[in-house]
Structure 1
Amino acid sequence: MNSLILMAIGLSMMAVGYFLYSKFLGSRIYRLSDSYKTPAHTMEDGVDYVPTNKYVLWGHHFTSVAGAAPIIGPAVAVIWGWLPAFLWVTIGTVFMAGMHDLGALWASQRHRGQSIGTLSGRYIGARGRNLFLVVIFLLLLMVNTAFGVVISNLLVSTPTSVIPTWGAIIVALLVGQAIYRLKWSLPLVSVVGVVALYTLMIIGDRFPIVLPETVLGIPANGVWIIVLFVYAFIASLLPVWMLLQPRDYINGLQLFIGLGILYASFLFTAPDVVAPALRDNLPAETPGIFPLLFVTIACGAISGFHGMVASGTSSKQLDKETDARFVGYFGAVGEGLLALGTIIATTSGFKTLADWEQIYSEWNAGGVSAFVEGGGNLINEGLGISTSLSATILATMAVLFAATTMDSGVRLQRFVVQEIGEIMGFKIGALGATSIAVGIAFALTFSQGADGSGGMTIWPLFGTTNQLMAGLSLAVITVILTHLRRPTWPVAIPLVFVTAMSLWAAVKQLGTLWAAQNWLLFAMDVVIVVAAVWVIVEVIGAVSAARKAPPVEWSDEDTDAPHPVRQTADAPVA
């Protein structure tokens, strides 16, 4: 099998998804309207609510949701063979991820930019909301701690990525000033910013930054993690236009160009896929493909974290409601392209099947290192870029994806902490909420030692938790559509599939954790499973009540959409 065939099929499917299916969703299901005044205008505050050019906002959304997961997941999942991963990424992106991201963005901005957790309280009930927040909090904690470890490991293993990684922050601050203060044209800012970033990569390739083995007794990995948390703390409090937006936008351009370089290497080398379509000689301890495939590849097919970004930050910056199709659906397509590129790079970037099997000799092998090595080989061979610079480009891509996700993750965690405070009856300011969010993540990360390895402690639960979160977000959207008497099948079918696979995986994981006597993760998995099942029961009741209730009509003049909820002892009808 030649990799160009996979590339052509994958790109064609995603193009059809955006140009046809997303148009159907926007016009028939979500009914996007240019006359609706978004919260970015009605609630503009210059900090979180800021009307934003759709291309800039797409850059924020794409880079925030992508992270390292669409690289890690597919790069691990190809151990079962390239075919299952390819099918899940392409079909999942077109019919699930794009619909999910667009739906969460639409629902949130129709409700003053409220998070999907808050919407669960309005449409499902207070009990559902509280359990929803538990899942959201744990998922964000996993992202913020694990991505800190992933980034620090890459900065240590690929020191040529240090200068472009931190230099990107300075470029982003200057881009923000150029767009909002100096009023430069977006094309000019884009060209200057991208040139600056790639110049930093060339400089970084020539001048790698290597930290001492220890600094004040702290290993190099731990030092980078501390710096990352300090940066994330500050970044999450700054106005979005100052750093978050421009950083994500310029990173989005650079990352998309990086994807272009990767795909160009496929085109010029036309490598054969050395990995089998379905692998029959799986390494010992490799789990069965069902249901693990659907939680191993989360980002890149469908991801609950996307719903949190869409309803947490992106919805507050949407200039026009019709921009949601480009920002939400095409943002998911961008991540699907990264996942597809990862599959091709990790299955055709090695000379022989034996070379590939050496990398994938055990379960959980591969990952980012396989992506960097395989993709670097193809870029070097196809475009003549040195192996060192190729590795720098791909490592910087991975770091910037993960870093922008961590930026948004800490900001979202701050929102969640504030929501929990409101439920408990007291108000937590932005500084206090951020301190709590970062403090908990910091404590967990260094709970196992000064190298920060504790950041990966709860990561094994990420896949199932993330996919359960996607199912819960789809459940809220289904209830809303039921109230509006609009077709629910585009949402309900993925809802049933993703929820079933996720619960199956979570229950299987309980057995594994029990056998390993990992009581911390076992207890957390129990909490997540119970919370998810409980919310599903609440959702079934909410859908039933919505069908019996009078239909709701949304006016484009509404500044806050009607929000009927199921009548329970703790959730009276609004």
Structure 2
Amino acid sequence: MSPVLLMFIGLALFVFGYLVYSKYLAKRVYKLDPAFKTPAHELNDGVDYVPTNKFILWGHHFTSVAGAAPIVGPAIAVIWGWLPAFLWVTLGTVFFAGMHDFGALWASTRNKGRSIGALSARYIGKRGANLFLVVIFLLLLMVIAAFAVVIKNLLISTPSAVIPTWGAIVVALLVGVAVYRMRWPLVPVTIVGVVALYALIVLGDQVPVVLPDDFLGMGPATFWILALFIYGAIASLLPVWVLLQPRDYINGVQLFIGLGLLYGAVLIATLFAADKPEIVAPMINTALPEGTPSMIPLLFVTIACGAISGFHGMVSSGTSSKQLDKEPDARFVGYFGAIGEGLLSLGTILAVIGGFRTVAEWEEVYSSFGAGGVGAFVEGGGMLMQTGIGLPASLSATVLATMAVLFAATTMDTGMRLLRFVVQEIGDAMHIRITKFPATLVVVVVGLGLTFSQGLGGDGGLRIWPLFGTTNQLMAALTLSILAVMLIRKRRNALPALLPLIFVFVMSFWAAIEQLVSFANPEQPDWLLFVLDVVIIVASIWVAVEAVIAMRKAATDPPEPEDQDASIQAVREEV
């Protein structure tokens, strides 16, 4: 079977999602109002609250939510077969992730840009909200620590990605000055910025940077980890227009072009190459390696980003809602941002099932659960690009490795900004005022402490990563429960939130219980993960009960009146 058939089916589903389902959500469910004054205008402070062009904001949102997870998750999950992964990525993006991301952005915008943690206190109850702040803290800590490890490993294994990775920061700073200070038109600035980024990729391929074993008194791994945390701390404190917005926007455009190259390579190789790519991976894998867990429920937490992800709700409510210029922009930023991540996950699946020549090659990579990952994506995608569009293998690997690094880097520093907000919210809950500098210091110290907890190689960043999938999906369920309460209060159709909520909660809670049993295995117990998993399970049960109570109350209370400034006819014309 040719991978191009899967590509077209997936693309058709994504087009349907954006043109049909997201329009229904915008008109009938969220009822977006172009006259609504967004927090970016109401609370404009030039630092976090800044009205932003929807294309630039989409770039920030897309690259922040994407990270490395929509590559890692699908590249691991195809071990169960390509069909389950394909169905969850496509249908999960259209009916789960798009609704979730779009909804979180709308909900936060309607509540002065408040985070999911703050919204849970308002719509579900304060009793569980404070406990869940701890879970949010753990989730964000997992993201920044693990992605630091992923980036560090790629910079060491693919030294040709070093120059484009760090050069992209300089390009982004110049783009920010050109757009916001010199007021240059966005299109020519975009073209020049993208050309500069790809020039850096070519330069990086020609001039790989390999650090010596002893660099400034430390090993390469230690140096890259420290450099990443220092960069992330600075980026999280700067006004969003200086680095966050332009960097994420220009990276988003460049990364979309990279995806275009990957999809184009699949099509061209299928049509014209003598050695046409074929799907060598099994549709349903019945010969799973020993130790592989059951597909249900683990598939739905292994592929989180790329189908639905609680982290997206934190980005939507943490940074994107504070920059939304007009409420109707939420459809493009939120829903199409989820589509962008779905495209990345679909591209990853195509690369890891169609980028190998034989079943034996594929089985060698997928010899155990957890194998594959970014390495399989770079290897398989590089082979497709070499076959389809003739890029040399080394340059193809550089393009894909740079894509992975830039996705991970933008998510890491956005995660640090979000974690700073969470630290401040925890301080507020304890009646302690924490300003942004001490909060950022807490984030850096705790993040580095976790990352170096198993040595200076920095692999401690993956210490609590096994909990990411379940914690992330339980966060998504929390976000959906907030949306359901808001919609019930307004007497709108809550089924688009309730149905995904039930499915995601059941699967993620089931996975959390299975993990709890494995962590308590007498032969090889992991008591740290066991205790953290217990905390997450207890918090989830608590919030679930509170959410049900809140929904029942919302259904019996008098309905909330529609906003007085809403103009439904204007909404219909706008969207």
**Shorter-chain TM-score tier:** over 0.9
Could you tell me how far 1:556 is from its partner in structure 2? 5.4
| Structure 1 equivalent of residue 414 of structure 2 | 408
TM-score (norm 1): 0.96
Matches within 5 A, 1:10-409: 10-215=10-215, 218-270=218-270, 271-409=277-415
* 1:457 corresponds to which of 452, 463, 468: 463
**In structure 2, C-alpha distance between the alignment counterparts of 1:182 and 1:194, rounded to whole Å:** 19
Over residues 176-214 of structure 1, what are the superposed CA-to-partner deviations in whole Å (9 max), with x where a residue is unaligned? 000000001010110010000000000000000001123
Could you tell me how far 1:220 is from its partner in structure 2? 1.1
Structure 2: gaps (5+ residues): 271-276, 567-575
**In structure 1, C-alpha distance between the alignment counterparts of 2:427 and 2:564, rounded to whole Å:** 32
Could you tell me how far 1:216 is from its partner in structure 2? 5.1
Could you tell me how far 1:215 is from its partner in structure 2? 2.9
**In structure 1, C-alpha distance between the alignment counterparts of 2:110 and 2:516, rounded to whole Å:** 38
Q: 1:225 to 1:556 in 2, by over 3 A?
A: farther
The SS at the match of 1:202 is helix
| Structure 2 equivalent of residue 568 of structure 1 | none
**In structure 1, C-alpha distance between the alignment counterparts of 2:46 and 2:308, rounded to whole Å:** 31
**In structure 2, C-alpha distance between the alignment counterparts of 1:472 and 1:301, rounded to whole Å:** 16
**In structure 1, C-alpha distance between the alignment counterparts of 2:322 and 2:438, rounded to whole Å:** 22
Could you tell me how far 1:132 is from its partner in structure 2? 2.0
| Structure 2 equivalent of residue 543 of structure 1 | 551
- Partner amino acid for 2:153? N
| Structure 2 equivalent of residue 505 of structure 1 | 511
| Structure 2 equivalent of residue 564 of structure 1 | none
- Partner amino acid for 1:386? P
Could you tell me how far 1:272 is from its partner in structure 2? 1.2
Could you tell me how far 1:354 is from its partner in structure 2? 0.7
Q: 1:457 to 1:556 in 2, by over 3 A?
A: farther
**In structure 2, C-alpha distance between the alignment counterparts of 1:219 and 1:535, rounded to whole Å:** 44
**Contact 1:35/1:556, CA 8 A, preserved across alignment:** no
**Contact 1:218/1:451, CA 8 A, preserved across alignment:** no
| Structure 2 equivalent of residue 477 of structure 1 | 483
Over residues 207-260 of structure 1, what are the superposed CA-to-partner deviations in whole Å (9 max), with x where a residue is unaligned? 000011233553211210100000001000000000000000000000000000
Q: 1:520 to 1:363 in 2, by over 3 A?
A: same
Structure 1: gaps (5+ residues): 559-574
| Structure 1 equivalent of residue 274 of structure 2 | none
The SS at the match of 1:235 is helix
Could you tell me how far 1:555 is from its partner in structure 2? 1.6
**In structure 2, C-alpha distance between the alignment counterparts of 1:213 and 1:368, rounded to whole Å:** 24
- Partner amino acid for 1:523? V
**In structure 2, C-alpha distance between the alignment counterparts of 1:556 and 1:303, rounded to whole Å:** 33
Could you tell me how far 1:10 is from its partner in structure 2? 0.2
The SS at the match of 2:558 is coil
| Structure 2 equivalent of residue 419 of structure 1 | 425
Could you tell me how far 1:269 is from its partner in structure 2? 1.0
**In structure 2, C-alpha distance between the alignment counterparts of 1:219 and 1:364, rounded to whole Å:** 27
**In structure 1, C-alpha distance between the alignment counterparts of 2:99 and 2:465, rounded to whole Å:** 26
**In structure 1, C-alpha distance between the alignment counterparts of 2:183 and 2:316, rounded to whole Å:** 27
**Contact 1:36/1:556, CA 8 A, preserved across alignment:** no
Over residues 436-475 of structure 1, what are the superposed CA-to-partner deviations in whole Å (9 max), with x where a residue is unaligned? 1111011111111011111110001000000000001101
The SS at the match of 1:37 is coil
* 1:466 corresponds to which of 472, 475, 481: 472
Q: Give the paired residue count.
A: 558
**In structure 1, C-alpha distance between the alignment counterparts of 2:62 and 2:127, rounded to whole Å:** 32
**Contact 1:177/1:242, CA 8 A, preserved across alignment:** yes
**Contact 1:117/1:129, CA 8 A, preserved across alignment:** yes
Q: Calculate percent identity across the aligned residue pairs.
A: 64
**In structure 1, C-alpha distance between the alignment counterparts of 2:564 and 2:376, rounded to whole Å:** 49
**In structure 1, C-alpha distance between the alignment counterparts of 2:217 and 2:452, rounded to whole Å:** 14
**In structure 2, C-alpha distance between the alignment counterparts of 1:147 and 1:77, rounded to whole Å:** 19
**In structure 2, C-alpha distance between the alignment counterparts of 1:548 and 1:289, rounded to whole Å:** 40
Could you tell me how far 1:135 is from its partner in structure 2? 1.5
Over residues 118-153 of structure 1, what are the superposed CA-to-partner deviations in whole Å (9 max), with x where a residue is unaligned? 010011111121122121111000001000000000
Could you tell me how far 1:7 is from its partner in structure 2? 0.3
Q: 1:475 to 1:491 in 2, by over 3 A?
A: same
- Partner amino acid for 1:134? V
**In structure 2, C-alpha distance between the alignment counterparts of 1:381 and 1:556, rounded to whole Å:** 58
| Structure 1 equivalent of residue 542 of structure 2 | 534
**In structure 2, C-alpha distance between the alignment counterparts of 1:404 and 1:519, rounded to whole Å:** 32
**In structure 2, C-alpha distance between the alignment counterparts of 1:118 and 1:323, rounded to whole Å:** 23
**In structure 2, C-alpha distance between the alignment counterparts of 1:87 and 1:122, rounded to whole Å:** 35
| Structure 1 equivalent of residue 560 of structure 2 | 552
**In structure 2, C-alpha distance between the alignment counterparts of 1:356 and 1:213, rounded to whole Å:** 33
**In structure 1, C-alpha distance between the alignment counterparts of 2:296 and 2:547, rounded to whole Å:** 26
- Partner amino acid for 2:555? R
**In structure 2, C-alpha distance between the alignment counterparts of 1:35 and 1:327, rounded to whole Å:** 18
**In structure 2, C-alpha distance between the alignment counterparts of 1:439 and 1:223, rounded to whole Å:** 16
| Structure 2 equivalent of residue 571 of structure 1 | none
| Structure 2 equivalent of residue 567 of structure 1 | none
**In structure 1, C-alpha distance between the alignment counterparts of 2:124 and 2:295, rounded to whole Å:** 33
TM-score (norm 2): 0.96
Q: What's the Cα RMSD here?
A: 0.9
| Structure 1 equivalent of residue 569 of structure 2 | none
**Contact 1:176/1:243, CA 8 A, preserved across alignment:** yes
Runs of 4+ in 1 over 6 A off after TM superposition: none
- Partner amino acid for 1:342? T
